[in-house]
Amino acid sequence: MTNNRPLIGIAFFITANFLTAAVDAVSKHLTGEMHALQIVCGYFTAITFFLLLYAAIRRMPLRQIYVTRRPALQILRAVSMVLTIGTLFAGLKYIPLADATAITFSAPLIIVALSAPVLGEKVGIHRWSAVVVGMVGVLIVIQPSTTMHWAVLLPLAAAVGFAIFQIVTRQLTGTETTFTTLFYTSAGGALMSALLMIFVWIPLDLRQTAILFGIGALGVGAHICFFRAFVYAQASFLAPFNYVKLIWVIAFGFLLFGDVPAQHVLLGSAVIIASGLYVFMRERRRAA
């Protein structure tokens, strides 16, 4: 059952998006050294390692790690996460970080569309309007010319995967522990990506291994924050705040790749943030 504390949910959600933006930026750098599937496999393997290390330190019983009431949803969450990260990392090899991220922001439209029939949430005209306005901001950012490259299909597929991921996460918050859900997602993701990665695997040096474990640690933090966010707020309410990730991406793009955002990127970002703030202010008035 969800607690009606939207401010806390937003804080967790924005923090999660900051951490995933950091993962995306580092992964874009790694795509010049190894195949995206190997990055995905290393990422999930590192997350699994940290989770099992934590369980060992806390001496958690095995049943507390793997017992789940909803195994089908746990598997679906893992599949959707592999789809999301795999297609996004592959797209980052061809598309600038900010452009690829902006394209994935079609996910909130999918979330809002599915939250009513799947989750039974009431989605009114104000939430729809905020998401649509946010999408206008995304179009301002990416500019029509960027959609001509075939690789835009990859972040679009990532958007579908991420929408499914958030919907399933929302369904699991009422019955599953955060740790169990993270374990199934990471272990399942590592296994599925490993089966494909064997065809493109290359030996790793110590630096590359350390980087993969680093993004794995960031991923653990991001997953925890996502899970907690859905405890405090509805999926359709949090959907517009996916757009805030673009701000983090612009910052990482400048710091790591020297990318200076153009005026249309800044304008679109302002529209995106405004859409999220509109939903938040309206929810606060309703709760008062």
* The one-letter amino acid at 258: G
| Residue 155 and residue 88 in contact, taking contact as beta carbons nearer than 8 Å | yes
Q: Does 210 fall in a domain?
A: yes
The verdict on residue 1 lying in a domain is: no
The mean pLDDT of 201-214, rounded to a whole number, is 94
- pLDDT tens, residue by residue, 209-241: 999 999 999 998 998 898 888 888 887 778 778
Residue 183 domain-assigned (yes or no): yes
The conformational region for residue 59 under phi > 0 = left, psi -120 to 50 = alpha, else beta, is: left
Q: Name the H helices within 59-176.
A: 62-66, 71-92, 97-104, 107-119, 125-142, 153-172
* 219: nearest Cα among 10, 38, 20: 20
Global pTM exceeds 0.85: no
Could you give the CA distance from residue 212 to residue 47 in angstroms, rounded to a whole number? 10
Distance CA 171, CA 15 (A): 21
Q: Is residue 172 part of a domain?
A: yes
Q: How many domains does the chain have?
A: 1
pLDDT in tens, 125-174: 877 887 788 888 877 877 765 555 677 789 889 988 988 988 888 888 77
Does 200 reside within a domain? yes
| 229 falls within a domain | yes
Determine the structural domain holding residue 191 and report its residue range.
Answer: 6-287
CA distance 237 to 63: 34
Highest mean pLDDT among 32-46, 109-123, 243-257: 32-46
Task: Write the pLDDT tens digit of every residue in 50-91.
Answer: 999 999 998 988 888 888 989 999 999 999 999 999 999 998
Q: How confident is the model at residue 279 (pLDDT cuts 50, 70, 90)?
A: confident
21 within a domain of the structure (yes/no): yes
CA pair distance 156, 259, nearest whole angstrom? 22
Kindly tell me if the per-residue pLDDT of 288 is higher than 60: no
Assess whether pLDDT exceeds 70 at residue 283.
no
